[in-house]
């Protein structure tokens, strides 16, 4: 992926040479190199192992609890936004990070756009595969969002009334 933004300590960077390849549908021989597979294929591949080969992506209907047994070795989880107006991945991200303790990379894929990046960041995503036809450099401006968060989020679990 070459249109990727990733959070780094104290900021974010545009990653031009990200090695992961997103596999939307598995037809024929998969390409070489680290892959992000759809959940059914990924589960098939890892049925007999807990070493968690390759990364996995979940659609909004997929249950995040499927992945818990592989957490210690899983290299990457991606959550798909089939449309930027489909907000289910925000709740999946919340559950992965807050309830089930996923600490590895959590990547937003699909219809990933500048004006939603700050919400994704708040919900615990730390890498963002910006939609291919959009400028990742421009999208960087969307990561910061607002300085005030009334409620709480994955990266700020205390609501404002506990910080006020």
Partner 1 sequence: MYQYDDYDRALVFERVAQFRDQVERFMAGELSEEEFLPLRLQNGLYMQKHAYMLRVAIPYGTLGAQQMRTLASIARDYDRGYGHFTTRQNMQFNWIELAQVPDILERLAQVEMHAIQTSGNCVRNITTEAFAGVAADELMDPRPLAEILRQWSTINPEFLFLPRKFKIAICSAKQDRAAIMMHDIGLYLYCDDSGQMLLRVIVGGGLGRTPILGLQIREGLPWQHLLSYVEAVLRVYNRHGRRDNKYKARIKILVKALGIEAFAKEVEEEWQHLKDGPAQLTDVEYERVASAFVPPDYRSLAGTDLDFGTRLAEHPAFARWVARNVQPHKVPGYASVVLSTKPGIAAPPGDVTAEQMEAVALWSEQFGFGEIRIAHEQNIVLPDVPKADLYALWCLACEQGLGSANIGLLTDIIACPGGDFCALANAKSIPIAQAIQARFDDLDYLHDLGDISLNISGCMNACGHHHIGNIGILGVDKNGSEWYQITLGGAQGKNSALGKVIGPSFSAAEVPDVIERIIGTFVRYRESEELFVDTLARIGLEPFKERVYPKVLEVSA
Tell me if 128 contacts partner 1 by CB under 8 A. Answer: no
Q: Which of 7, 41, 43, 152 binds partner 1 (CB under 8 A)?
A: 152
Residue 68 makes contact with partner 1 by CB under 8 A: no
Rounded to whole angstroms, how far apart are CA atoms 142 and 7? 13
Tell me if 59 contacts partner 1 by CB under 8 A. no
**Other residues' Cβ atoms within 10 Å of the Cβ of residue 61:** 9
Question: Which spans in the chain are helix H?
Answer: 39-45, 88-94, 117-122, 136-139
From 8-16, 26-34, 69-77, 112-120, give the range in contact with partner 1 by CB under 8 A: 112-120
Reference 126, options 82, 88, 76; nearest CA is: 76
| Residue of the chain from 15, 122, 126, 129 that contacts partner 1 (CB under 8 A) | 122
Please give the full DSSP string across 26-49, using - where no structure is assigned.
--SSPPSS-EEEEHHHHHHHTTT-
91 binds partner 1 (CB under 8 A): yes
Query: Minimum Å distance from CB 163 to partner 1?
Result: 9
Q: What is the C-alpha end-to-end distance of the chain, expressed in Å?
A: 41
Task: Specify the residue, 73 or 115, whose C-beta has the smaller distance to partner 1.
Answer: 115
Interface residue list for partner 1 (CB under 8 A): 84-88, 90-92, 94, 99, 113, 115-116, 118-120, 122-123, 138, 146-153, 157-162, 164
């Amino acid at each position: 992926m070459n249109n990727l933004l990733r959070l780094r300590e104290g900021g974010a960077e545009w990653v031009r040479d990200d090695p992961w390849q997103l596999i939307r549908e598995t037809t024929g021989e998969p390409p070489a190199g680290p892959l992000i597979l759809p959940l059914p294929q990924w589960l098939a591949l890892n049925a007999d192992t807990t070493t968690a080969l390759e990364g996995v992506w979940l659609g909004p209907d997929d249950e995040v609890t499927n992945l818990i047994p592989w957490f210690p070795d899983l290299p990457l989880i991606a959550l798909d936004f089939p449309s930027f107006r489909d907000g289910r991945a925000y709740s999946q991200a919340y559950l992965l990070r807050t309830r089930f303790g996923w600490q590895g990379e959590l990547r937003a894929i699909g219809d990933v756009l500048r004006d939603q990046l700050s919400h994704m960041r708040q919900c615990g995503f730390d890498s963002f595969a910006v939609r291919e036809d959009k400028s990742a450099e421009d999208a960087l401006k969307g990561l910061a969002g607002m300085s005030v968060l009334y409620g709480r989020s994955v990266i700020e679990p205390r609501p404002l009334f506990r910080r006020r």
